Structure 1
Amino acid sequence: MRHFRTNHLKEQHLALVPERGYDKVDGNQSLLALRFFKWYSEKYSVTVQNVNSDGGEKRIGKYQLDGWVVEKNYGIEVNGCVWHGCPKCFPNEYELMPNGKTTGYLREHDKNRMEFILSQIDRVDVYWECEIHQMLAKDREMRQMFYSYIDDGPIDIRSCFYGGRTGPLKLHHEVKDGERISYYDVTSLYPFINVTTAYPVGHPKVHIIIKM
């Protein structure tokens, strides 16, 4: 591999796909948030700019808003209870969350962020994940819209690279009388495909066709 990289690999030839995809490098939204914005836009007859919109999330200084109501110029934040330290779900401000930070730290960070954003715009509505689930429990139409939602946002290229069918179904087996362990393999086509097939090189040119 070192020989290949040093002597044969051309510059800008082998692309490393960004972990969150090409169109989501600067933003990351949960499926819950995207479903909520779809429901919100239809319920209130407004356009909610989000990570899947043309231009991505609305920027306020160095920060980004989960949602931006275009017609009325106000923001919407959908906070995951675990990732933002929901005070209802996690009242102990010293509780350590999965990202290695305490709930108190997360809430203080969000407070400072929100203070800056509200110095630039007049309104931001914050919805916690647990609050949305409570709304869903009470509103059947909202539930139906959530469950019928189809994410038509940018393709997640990394999700294409699953498979191989190499997972063992049983790791240990003791042979009994009359049994025999056999191994079967299908002739691999990888060498043939690698020799005869043309592969795209470099990073793709991203075309955003989804409008707000």
Structure 2
Amino acid sequence: MKCVSFGLEECTKGYYPYKFNKPENRNYVGPHPDINMYPVSSMTTPQYNDFLQWYSSVKNNIFNNKEELIRYCRQDVKILMKGCLNFMFSFIETTDVNPFLEAITIADAVMKVYRKNYLKPNTLGITPKNNYNSNFIHLQSKISLKWLVYLKLKENINLRYEVKLKNCRYIADGYDETSNTVYSFEGCYYHGHTCYLNRMQVCSNDPNDTLHNRYEATLRRLDHIRKLGYNVVSMWECEFRKILKDDPQLTLQIEQHKEIMDSGFNLRSAVYGGRTEVFRLYHKCKPGDRIYYYDFTSLYPWANKYSKYF
């Protein structure tokens, strides 16, 4: 079977008896499978004539299923590779955009072409992540929010969240105005905690940074906040996770706390992105009403990684 897309007229995919590919035939070596084992019903008349000519030339040969399957699959990959290369070169020549290096999906590539070649500067407004809401300057992690709820439950203190500190650029995870105390939650990887033993390990999200450098920067930040006159209470992620692990009842109490139950969803995210849809843009809740968020999770990547292929 010839492949004509992307200028691959000279590439031949070949034929394989799909219906013959069963577990009991995996190591089959013997006479060629019957013609009905091939997908003849899906062939056009010219394709069927080409197939008959090929089948007549090989039907008396010994058929080694394992070798034929490997050959067929390798040829499939070669055709895909050549097709991708031809597509890439053609796309670059036409748009000056490399679809494989500059995009993840074809829709992403098309948008890149538009932005690079057609969109004029200062045309579109870019909405900030905090949606123009100065009360939420950055997105707080759920584990840090759990720690702040834990402090409220255990120590009965009134905390404000994500507070911009005076006279510096730092944002406190939590702040108690009464005692002038800054509460800082440190994610172990992000802040380079010593629970990661390879101190000179290059960080995956920044090749110019190491865990040791992050740890030192974290200590300097906390020290600077103290010098500004604040009391500082910090908690490392691994230490707090151990507290939760050792006290399941406390963990359940935190999980069921209203602030944790209400966190995690950015309702604006339902308006854009892949596989999203808003059924109603505005709804005023009456007593007893509930708004639902449905999340569709594709199993295709999971199946490709973990499932067995025969």
Class of the TM-score when normalised by the shorter of the 2 chains: 0.5 to 0.7
State the 1:23 CA deviation. 3.2
State the 1:70 CA deviation. 2.4
Percent identity of paired positions between Structure 1 and Structure 2 = 21
Match status 1:118 vs 2:234:
no
The CA distance in 2 between the partners of 1:4 and 1:95, in whole Å, is 42
How many residue pairs match? The answer is 161
Task: Pick from 101, 106, 109 the counterpart of residue 214 of structure 2.
Answer: 106
The corresponding residue for 1:141 is 249
Match status 1:23 vs 2:133:
yes
Where structure 2 has 5 or more consecutive residues not aligned to the other structure, the ranges are: 1-113, 277-297, 302-310
**Partner secondary structure for residue 203 of structure 2:** coil
Cα distance change, pair 161–106 in 1 and its aligned pair in 2 (3 A): same
The CA distance in 2 between the partners of 1:111 and 1:169, in whole Å, is 43
Match status 1:96 vs 2:206:
no
TM-score using structure 2 length: 0.44
**Partner secondary structure for residue 81 of structure 1:** coil
The CA distance in 2 between the partners of 1:57 and 1:122, in whole Å, is 13
Where structure 1 has 5 or more consecutive residues not aligned to the other structure, the ranges are: 171-212
**Partner secondary structure for residue 261 of structure 2:** coil
Whether the aligned pair in 1 keeps the contact of 2:142 and 2:264 (CA below 8 Å) is no
Q: After superposition, give the CA deviation of every residue in 1:25-66 in whole Å (9 maximum; x if it has no partner).
A: 733320111122122113211111112xxxx44445222221
Structure with higher RCO (Cα < 8 A, 6+ apart): 1
Normalized per residue, the structure richer in helix is: 2
The corresponding residue for 2:189 is 82
Q: After superposition, give the CA deviation of every residue in 1:148-169 in whole Å (9 maximum; x if it has no partner).
A: 222358845235424438x796
**Partner secondary structure for residue 189 of structure 2:** helix
RMSD: 3.4
Match status 1:36 vs 2:147:
yes
The corresponding residue for 1:69 is 176
Q: After superposing the two structures, state which structure 1 stretch, 139-148 or 78-87, moved more.
A: 139-148
Asked which structure has the greater CA Rg, the reply is: 2
The CA distance in 2 between the partners of 1:48 and 1:105, in whole Å, is 30
